[in-house]
């Protein structure tokens, strides 16, 4: 037989494009149109419906970028259409994909939301267009409104990474970017629609089969016969005959050994990204309305809906949609998943913040729906911390899902279903959908890839496929569900069943848990490494907010327990925590959103910071009382200057005075030499009699790189950035002085269009050099780092992560090692050799690179570089332009314990309050390796004291925790403060913690 495959495929594509798809709608009558252009930000439906509308017609330009127009549509259903399936067809001028273009929400004449509109959902069925959303019939009048959002396509050109100012919050008076294209009542030809889905399902399947496979040829022949049976002059009339030619190939069942796909309806809705938070609120309402309406027609639909924040937005802003959502959850159609407040980044949030993601997320689902979610749902975050498995278990969940690791550039991850082992040894059953997307269309192409790609083939048989339009929302369509029906049991395809994530995980775990492989440690994503640095002020706002929240809870609890404060600020702290958690979403905190999002985040952090400072100040003043003494409050978990950790008192001096002479700063503990360029040429550890700076090298060297990643500007830094580097050694001035007994060097530099002022400080008794860096940054596509080359032979570096630290190689033995050329750390990084180590601590940065080189003298130089700032052009061309101040410190002779304590200290500076009394810590622990991460009053407002602590060094630690307040009982609780076990209480509580174990204790007050 001759090979006519290409001929048939091309014939099919043209027939679909020019003949069949246009025939889905038959007879049509235009709707009457009126419009009201909303000024400024979106308004409530009641205000919009009360506005004055003007007559409009097809072709009307509408919607400046980010603007809103309200359309009023009305008409009469022709009586002669009785018995036909009828829909309103609205095209707002859709140009891009769902979620990235104009969007609409259909409302009743009373302003009740009914159904979303987007480029793949342009219809509203007659069943919802009657009075108040009821069904209409032939001969009836209909009337409805559409709130149309003019969301611009920030994705840009074909490459998608061109700089654009469209992501800024708009000024009034912009030009319309959309044009109303269609507004009709039309007869829906269901048989034509079904024919399209038959043809597409079979064509997509056959294209994935080998050319030698008989099944492919059989499908091709059937497709050809179907087109032969079709009369292009009357597609609607002959669609049934055309479908009949496909019955045989569509009815053959799947092979007995076919892979099993659990299809889950989904709409990945980024809480902000190429749109602001306020638009996401509307996206959620549109998507939920779509799902609720779709489920009425397709009862088998199950929709996984993550992010408690998005559920809360529906409750707060759309009461009618909220009622539909609650009903769908109760019926099992919409399934809350994830158990987190948002789908957060997991590399950058602090330990307590990541715990609170689970606390607030799971508690919302419990309080509102009575559902204790079991799966953690993070399909699109940019790598996954090794702390997660323990937090998942402590939240009361047991499964984890992501898809993002399929994006790895250098190494294919070896598993799709496995046990993921975290820092402390906790394991969570984990799945990566081999379909390699969280926005599947269930096409033959994607299903075949899932079956072929599944790493566990031969040992396990099932995988999960989230289907529906996502990123910008939208969710499943009727086409997707109809496709799922066609491929449910189809020869040469996996079997497909629409079911919940719980059903999938339960079956997968039962089948494979005993034999599943184990992956230990972080799930490092080999792409998007620049998200550790982009949008510095967003990251700084997050870090500072986390530590302010720690202090607000700590000192408020202490003041209430001491009887010096009447009430604990439960409501204020709950609201502030949720605002901070929202901004940890995986396109906000990583710095990968439009300008509008980040400017709004900065304003939010400033407002929250002021509120938290007021809460802290009120509690500390209450504790200190009235007097003239300088009371120093130490919110860090370790003591300093004679002040106990978590306590307050009068400070005592640390060590001898500091001298400054001939460029040498000396406090008797370390001696620092600064040259005429303002660089550290020597850092001598007096006690160890050891030079720290590597021979021939200089410390605190600023290095400027050209930074032009191949794609994903704000997200990516590609390894070739290291090929183009400039050492910034030019200096405007170097000034030495002593300020309040602290040796100080101020170094000013200018380069390109930017200036950097660094203030180096050496304090009495300190084994660290503090470096404050103020950058007035005006570069484009540049990457600035600070280099610290130390004379230490380190095979690996340690980086703080949530509730512990992880080790990464400093060499590149394997492709897995080489891929980690940029790494994330929280408050500190550490390198060491037996007997000696060095740490770099920081107050607001995350990105680092650490590597080593061999010297001619036979020694090894290990270089720590901190990533200070970038200047990507997309999606925010003004990223990080302006003034930034960050703090680092180089700590010498440091082991891991010193790195930990210094990391807390730089992030929790001492606070001085004029008063009379010191403050004893609410609890004391007789082993510094066990660290208190949070101390607060219980969320249930019982007045119980909650202490969350962890083993910080990676070893087994024993201790006694002793409360300094009257208590009658202590229990071990989970993250949601639910009872796990009773604990013995004598004078204190005995602790025996495994490496990196997190423990939360609840003390009942007398």
Give the residue numbers marked as catalytic.
380
Computed on alpha carbons and rounded to an integer, the radius of gyration of the chain in Å comes to: 31
What tokens does 23 get?
Answer: 């025939």
The dihedral formed by the CA atoms of 94, 98, 99 and 102, expressed in degrees to the nearest 10: 10
Strand boundaries in 568-712, DSSP class E:
629-634, 647-649, 659-661, 664-666, 670-674, 680-685, 690-691, 701-706
CA-nearest of 230, 231, 210, 207 to 220 is 207
User: What does DSSP assign to residue 585?
Assistant: B
Alpha carbon 151 to its chain's center = 22
What is the spatial distance between Cα 683 and Cα 95, in angstroms, rounded to a whole number? Answer: 61
Alpha carbon 706 to its chain's center = 27
Q: Report phi then psi at 887, rounded to 5.
A: -125, 135
DSSP sequence for 371-411:
----EEE-TT-S-B-TTHHHHHHHTT--EEE--GGGG-SS-
What tokens does 466 get?
Answer: 């989230």
Report whether 70 contacts 104 (CB < 8 A). no
Report whether 280 contacts 272 (CB < 8 A). yes
90, containing H or E segment: strand 86-91
Spatial CB neighbours of 774, under 8 Å, sequence gap ≥ 6 = 756, 757, 758, 759, 883, 884, 885
Residue 629 burial by Cβ neighbours in a 10 Å radius (0-12, 13-18, 19+): middle
CA-nearest of 701, 714, 759 to 880 is 714
Report whether 173 contacts 71 (CB < 8 A). no
Report whether 549 contacts 577 (CB < 8 A). yes
Q: Report phi then psi at 365, rounded to 5.
A: -65, -35
Report whether 349 contacts 542 (CB < 8 A). yes
Degrees, nearest 5: CA angle 443-269-588: 130
Alpha carbon 446 to its chain's center = 25
Spatial CB neighbours of 250, under 8 Å, sequence gap ≥ 6 = 198, 201, 202, 486, 490
Spatial CB neighbours of 851, under 8 Å, sequence gap ≥ 6 = 810, 811, 812, 862, 863
CA-nearest of 250, 335, 261, 333 to 298 is 333
- C-alpha distances in angstroms, 881 versus 57, 592, 782, 877, 913? 44, 15, 12, 9, 36
Report whether 78 contacts 30 (CB < 8 A). no
- C-alpha distances in angstroms, 578 versus 346, 608, 887? 16, 11, 27
Sign of CA dihedral 138, 139, 143, 146: positive
Strand boundaries in 723-790, DSSP class E:
725-728, 733-739, 742-751, 754-762, 768-777, 782-790
- C-alpha distances in angstroms, 414 versus 405, 455, 763? 10, 7, 50
Residue 297 burial by Cβ neighbours in a 10 Å radius (0-12, 13-18, 19+): exposed
């Amino acid at each position: 037989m001759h090979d006519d495959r290409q001929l048939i495929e091309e014939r099919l594509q043209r027939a679909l494009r020019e003949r069949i798809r246009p025939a889905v709608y038959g007879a049509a009558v235009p709707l009457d149109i009126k419009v009201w252009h909303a000024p400024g930000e979106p308004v409530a439906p009641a205000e919009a419906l009360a506005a004055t509308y003007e007559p409009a017609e097809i072709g009307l330009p509408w919607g400046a970028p980010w603007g809103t127009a309200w359309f009023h549509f009305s008409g009469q259903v022709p009586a002669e259409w009785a018995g036909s399936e009828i829909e309103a067809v609205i095209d707002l001028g859709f140009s891009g994909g769902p979620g990235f273009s104009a969007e609409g929400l259909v409302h009743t004449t009373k302003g009740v939301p009914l159904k979303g509109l987007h480029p793949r959902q342009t219809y509203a069925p007659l069943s919802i267009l009657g009075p108040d959303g009821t069904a209409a019939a032939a001969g009836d009048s209909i009337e409805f409104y559409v709130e149309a959002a003019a969301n611009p396509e920030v994705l840009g050109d074909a490459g998608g990474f061109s700089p654009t100012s469209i992501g800024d919050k708009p000024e009034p008076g912009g030009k319309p970017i959309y044009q109303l294209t269609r507004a009709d009542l039309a007869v829906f030809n269901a048989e034509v629609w079904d024919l399209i889905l038959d043809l597409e399902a079979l064509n997509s399947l056959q294209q994935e089969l080998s050319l030698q496979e008989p099944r492919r040829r059989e499908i091709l022949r059937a497709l050809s016969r179907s087109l032969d049976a079709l009369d292009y002059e009357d597609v609607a009339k002959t669609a049934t005959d055309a479908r009949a030619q496909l019955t045989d190939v569509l009815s053959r069942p799947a092979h007995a050994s076919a892979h099993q796909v659990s299809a889950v309806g989904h709409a990945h809705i980024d809480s902000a990204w190429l749109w602001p938070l306020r638009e996401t609120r509307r996206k959620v309402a549109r998507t939920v309305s779509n799902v609720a309406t779709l489920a009425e027609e397709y009862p088998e639909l199950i929709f996984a809906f993550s992010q408690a924040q998005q559920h809360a937005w529906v409750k707060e802003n759309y009461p009618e949609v909220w009622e539909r959502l609650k009903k769908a959850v109760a019926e099992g159609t919409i399934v809350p998943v994830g158990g987190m407040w948002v789908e957060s980044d997991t590399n950058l949030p602090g330990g307590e913040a990541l715990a609170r993601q689970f606390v607030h997320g799971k508690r919302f689902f419990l309080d509102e729906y009575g559902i204790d979610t079991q799966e953690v749902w993070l399909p699109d975050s940019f790598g996954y911390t090794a702390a997660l498995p323990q937090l998942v278990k402590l939240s009361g969940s047991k499964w984890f899902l992501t898809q993002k690791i399929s994006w790895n550039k250098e190494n294919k991850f070896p598993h799709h279903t496995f046990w993921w082992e975290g820092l402390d040894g906790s394991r969570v059953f984990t799945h990566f959908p081999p379909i390699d997307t969280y926005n599947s269309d269930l096409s033959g192409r994607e299903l075949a890839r899932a079956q072929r790609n599944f790493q566990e083939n031969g040992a396990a048989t099932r995988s999960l496929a989230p289907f529906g339009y996502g990123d910008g929302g939208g969710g499943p369509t009727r086409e997707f569900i109809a496709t799922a029906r066609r491929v449910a049991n189809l020869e040469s395809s996996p079997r497909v069943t629409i079911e919940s994530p719980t059903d999938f995980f339960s079956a997968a775990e039962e089948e494979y848990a005993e034999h599943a492989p184990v992956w230990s440690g972080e799930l490092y994503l080999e792409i998007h490494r620049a998200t550790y640095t982009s949008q510095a002020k967003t990251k700084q706002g997050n870090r500072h907010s986390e530590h302010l929240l720690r202090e607000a809870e700590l000192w408020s609890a202490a003041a209430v327990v001491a009887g010096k404060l009447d009430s604990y600020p439960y409501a204020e702290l709950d609201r502030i925590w949720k605002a901070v958690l929202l901004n940890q979403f995986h396109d906000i905190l990583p710095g990968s959103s439009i300008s509008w999002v980040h400017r709004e985040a900065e304003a939010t952090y400033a407002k929250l910071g002021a509120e938290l400072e007021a809460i802290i100040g009120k509690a500390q003043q209450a504790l200190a009382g009235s007097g003239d003494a300088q009371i120093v409050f130490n919110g860090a978990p370790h003591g300093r200057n004679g002040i106990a950790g978590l306590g307050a008192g009068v400070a005592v001096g640390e060590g001898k005075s500091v001298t400054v002479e001939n460029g040498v700063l000396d406090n008797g503990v370390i001696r620092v030499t600064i040259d005429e360029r303002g660089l550290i040429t020597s850092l001598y550890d007096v006690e160890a009699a050891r030079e720290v700076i590597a021979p021939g090298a200089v410390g605190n060297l600023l290095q400027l790189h050209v930074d032009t990643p191949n794609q994903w500007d704000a997200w990516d830094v590609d390894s070739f950035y290291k090929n183009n580097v400039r050492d910034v050694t030019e200096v405007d001035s170097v000034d030495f002085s002593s300020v309040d007994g602290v040796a100080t060097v101020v170094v000013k530099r200018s380069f390109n269009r930017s200036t950097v002022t660094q203030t180096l400080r050496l304090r009495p008794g300190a084994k660290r050099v503090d470096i404050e860096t103020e950058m007035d940054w005006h570069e484009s596509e540049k990457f600035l780092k600070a280099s610290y080359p130390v004379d230490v032979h380190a095979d690996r570096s340690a980086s703080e992560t949530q509730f512990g630290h992880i080790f990464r190689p400093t060499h590149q033995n394997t492709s897995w090692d080489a891929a980690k050329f940029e790494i994330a750390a929280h408050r500190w990084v550490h390198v060491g050799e037996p007997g000696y180590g060095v740490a770099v601590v920081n107050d607001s940065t995350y990105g680092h690179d650490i590597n080593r080189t061999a010297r001619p003298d036979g020694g090894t130089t290990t270089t720590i570089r901190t990533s200070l700032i970038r200047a990507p052009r997309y999606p925010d061309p003004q990223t990080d332009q302006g003034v930034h101040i960050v703090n680092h410190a180089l700590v010498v002779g440091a082991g891991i314990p010193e790195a930990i304590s210094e990391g807390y200290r730089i992030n929790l500076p001492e606070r001085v309050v004029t008063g009379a009394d010191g403050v004893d810590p609410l609890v004391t622990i007789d082993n510094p390796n066990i660290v208190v991460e949070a101390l607060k009053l219980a969320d249930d407002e019982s007045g119980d004291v909650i202490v969350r602590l962890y083993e910080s060094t990676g070893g087994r630690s024993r201790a006694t925790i002793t409360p300094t307040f009257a208590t009658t009982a202590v229990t071990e609780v989970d993250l949601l403060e639910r009872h796990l076990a009773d604990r013995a209480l004598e004078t204190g509580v005995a602790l025996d913690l495994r490496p990196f174990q997190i423990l939360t204790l609840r003390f009942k007050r007398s």
